[in-house]
């Protein structure tokens, strides 16, 4: 796993591991790594298949990504670091932390994916229409049913993507004991606000913050506000 990291402190509980979203990379947290490197050891790796990391040779599942992160932690002597996870990175953090509370110390989830989406009437009709038409419609016509991001993926990445989004993590929330800060943008269209509320209600030791004027990348839309709130959360006494 390729990595970007700065090492400035060796104090206990002063390590932060950033886990990026799908089709993103560790550099998406540049505003955060520059801010936090003054007081923490900061690690922002590129997950398998993204950024400068090598392409995967088989379709990774969510558990494969968890194993990759565990190996990375071991390699870099990350002993129960704080984790800041965005979108897809949040999927990794939720499942791993629910199964092992020592996966991290405190947890920050922003624009976090993994919550079972609401099925609107429009989406339900589109899904039904797709299933009906698929055997009869030419391939180029069906392309309209897929997002551009999905179509740009390699075949092995498409298989990985399907594995990952098909796994809903709602039932894992109750098993997370770690102190958790949930930060969402009010205008987030990818992971709407109802998902943030489910996270907050499902994780017992959690707090929810909603940023006006911010979307799915609220840590980029409102970097100063995000950094200061996360710093206060990570450094506060329990």
Exposed (0-12), middle (13-18) or buried (19+): which is 78, by Cβ within 10 Å? buried
Query: What's the pLDDT at 214?
Result: 98
Instruction: Read off the pLDDT of each residue in 131-143 and give the average, rounded to a whole number.
Output: 44
Range of the domain at 205: 5-116+168-235
pLDDT tens digits, residue range 56-112? 889 999 999 999 999 999 999 999 999 999 999 999 999 999 999 999 999 999 999
Torsions phi, psi of 185, nearest 5?
-85, 135
By C-alpha distance, which of 185, 161, 166 is closest to 112?
185
Instruction: Compute the distance between CA of residue 107 and CA of residue 92 in angstroms, rounded to an integer.
Output: 12
Does 37 fall in a domain?
yes
Does 49 fall in a domain?
yes
Does 122 fall in a domain?
no
Does 226 fall in a domain?
yes
Does 193 fall in a domain?
yes
Q: HEC states along 113-173?
A: CCCCCCCCHHHHHHHHHHHHHCCCCCHHHHHHHCCHHHHCCCHHHHHHHHHHHCCCCHHHH
Does 112 fall in a domain?
yes
- What percent of the chain is modeled with pLDDT above 70? 80
pLDDT interval class at 121 (50, 70, 90): very low
Instruction: Please determine, for residue 125, whether its predicted confidence score (pLDDT) is greater than 60.
Output: no
Instruction: Compute the distance between CA of residue 28 and CA of residue 50 in angstroms, rounded to an integer.
Output: 12
Does 153 fall in a domain?
no
Q: Specify the number of domains making up the chain.
A: 1
Which residues make Cβ contacts (< 8 Å) with residue 109, sequence separation at least 6? 85, 90, 93, 94, 180, 181, 182, 183, 199
State the CATH number of the domain containing residue 28.
Answer: 3.40.50.1820
Q: How many CB atoms lie within 10 A of CB 148?
A: 7
pLDDT tens digits, residue range 149-194? 666 778 899 899 989 999 999 999 999 999 999 999 999 999 999 9
Contact 108, 232 (CB under 8 A): no
Does 147 fall in a domain?
no
pLDDT interval class at 131 (50, 70, 90): very low
Locate tokens 């839309």: which residue? 221
The encoded tokens of residue 110 equal 């922003």
The encoded tokens of residue 27 equal 């550099």
pLDDT tens digits, residue range 189-238? 999 999 999 999 999 999 999 999 999 999 999 999 999 999 999 999 86
Instruction: Compute the distance between CA of residue 87 and CA of residue 109 in angstroms, rounded to an integer.
Output: 8
- Dihedral angle computed from the Cα positions of residues 25, 29, 30 and 32, in that order, rounded to the nearest 10 degrees: -160
């Amino acid at each position: 796993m390729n990595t970007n990291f700065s090492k400035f402190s060796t104090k206990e509980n002063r390590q932060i591991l950033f886990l990026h979203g799908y089709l993103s990379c560790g550099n998406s947290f540049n505003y955060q790594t520059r801010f936090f490197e003054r007081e923490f050891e900061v690690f922002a790796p590129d997950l398998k298949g993204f950024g400068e990391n090598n392409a995967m040779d088989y379709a990774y599942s969510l558990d494969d990504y968890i194993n990759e992160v565990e190996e990375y932690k071991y390699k870099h002597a990350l002993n129960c670091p704080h984790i800041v996870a965005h979108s897809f990175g949040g999927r990794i953090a939720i499942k791993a932390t629910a199964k092992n509370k020592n996966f991290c110390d405190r947890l920050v989830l922003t624009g976090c994916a993994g919550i079972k989406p609401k099925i609107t009437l429009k989406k339900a009709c589109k899904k039904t229409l797709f299933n009906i038409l698929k055997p009869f419609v030419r391939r180029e016509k069906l392309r309209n049913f897929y997002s551009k991001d999905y179509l740009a993926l390699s075949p092995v990445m498409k298989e990985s993507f399907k594995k990952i989004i098909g796994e809903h993590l709602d039932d894992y929330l109750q098993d997370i004991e770690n102190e958790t800060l949930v930060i969402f943008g009010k205008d987030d269209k990818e992971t709407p606000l109802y998902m943030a509320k489910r996270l907050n209600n499902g994780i017992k030791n959690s707090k929810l913050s909603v940023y006006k004027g911010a979307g799915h990348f609220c840590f980029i839309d409102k970097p100063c506000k995000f950094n200061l709130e996360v710093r206060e959360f990570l450094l506060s006494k329990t």
